[in-house]
Amino acid sequence: MAAEFAAAGVTPGQPFPGNVIPDALIDPNATAFLGTGAIPLPNFGNQFTGSRSVPIDVREEIIRVDHNFNDRVSLMAHFINDAIIQETDTTLWGGMSYPTLGTIFRNPAKSAVLRLTWTISPSLLNEVAYNYNGNRIDFTGAFNAYELGYDRSSSDLDRRHVLTMNYIYELPFFKSHSSPFVRQAVGGWQLSGITNFQTGLPNTPSYPGDIAGVGFGNVRPNVVSDPNSGPKTLDEWFNTDAFAPPDELTFGNAGRNVIRRPGRDNWNISVFKVFSFSSLREGAQLQFRLEMFNTFNHTQFSDYDSNVLSGNYGKITSTYDARRIQFGLKFAF
């Protein structure tokens, strides 16, 4: 190759003379192909200006098997075989005067997933999966494929404590008032609501960078103290000093879901009243409803940044919705 460059007057690492590739370095087959006009020349006034729809034949075969061995162990196998055929029998580019041969694009694809889930306790589980897609096999569901016990932890949906209360209360005021107007306007109101108290979901700290040297970008930090002993403030929800950089060529020793997101204290309350208009028409009534979500407008933290190297590390980054009020009015007759 060096001799060919020298013969053409080209110095490796330097621009081509006159910024033009010498003919001696262009493959003769490529020259012949370009001569057919199949690819427009630069600044050619009619390049790739047209488009046309082409028939596409798609076939997909899916096989899925789910089996629960018992109330703790389940298996899911999923196999997909795709075949996509796209054919063109005329010119590919509009405005060209030359014919082209029929072109067929074939895109066969196969994918498979094998997932095994076993429950250790109602809120503790392990799950691993093997995924095959084309010519690649991925092992997912386990952060450290060399040690499956590394991910033994509380499940992502583990809320340790949840208390939900539903209530309906008919206000007793003015129900028996001597004035029909007062009874109609002020009496007979109904109060109802849903109140929810719950602890936060678990979360996993992360440390960016391929520290373990396995080809993907994040590992976990090392734990040096209790991460859940933090001040629980807007700027530091958990103990940010509880994590340290992992050692080189390790995944870090922090377990999965070792820190907790904020809990929630939420009140949704509605006020309801039915006004009777039976004097106008039998059964006629006007229904009024006032609904308040997050009634007391408490700021309810939702999530924080658990990336150790982030500028917002440990800080609250999102909240649940502020108070919302809506009115409803319905006339039935």
Query: Looking at residue 53, what is its pLDDT?
Result: 54
Single pTM value for the model:
0.55
3-state secondary structure of 187: coil
For residues 283 and 255, the answer to whether their CB atoms sit within 8 Å is no
Closest to 257 (Cα-Cα) out of 227, 217, 213: 227
Give CA angle at 254 (253, 260), nearest 5°: 170
Query: Looking at residue 94, what is its pLDDT?
Result: 42
Q: Which residues contact 113 (CB under 8 A, 6 or more apart)?
A: 76, 77, 78, 129, 130, 131, 132
pLDDT digits 0-9 by tens, 245-297: 999 989 999 988 899 999 999 999 999 998 878 777 777 888 999 999 999 99
Query: Looking at residue 280, what is its pLDDT?
Result: 75
Distance (Å, whole) CA 104 – CA 96: 20
Q: Which amino acid is at 293?
A: F
Closest to 132 (Cα-Cα) out of 116, 114, 146, 144: 114
Query: Looking at residue 28, what is its pLDDT?
Result: 75
Please state, in angstroms and as integers, the Cα–Cα distance from residue 250 to each residue in 152, 214, 215, 253, 255, following that order.
18, 10, 13, 8, 13
Bridge-based pairing state of the strands 259-260 and 202-203: antiparallel
Query: Looking at residue 49, what is its pLDDT?
Result: 45
Torsion of CA 293, 299, 302, 303, to 10 degrees: 160
Query: Looking at residue 247, what is its pLDDT?
Result: 93
pLDDT digits 0-9 by tens, 135-144: 444 445 567 7
Q: Mark the ranges of the chain whose per-residue pLDDT is less than 50.
A: 43, 45-51, 89-103, 134-139
Q: Which residues contact 136 (CB under 8 A, 6 or more apart)?
A: none
Q: Which residues contact 301 (CB under 8 A, 6 or more apart)?
A: 234, 237, 262, 316, 318, 319, 320
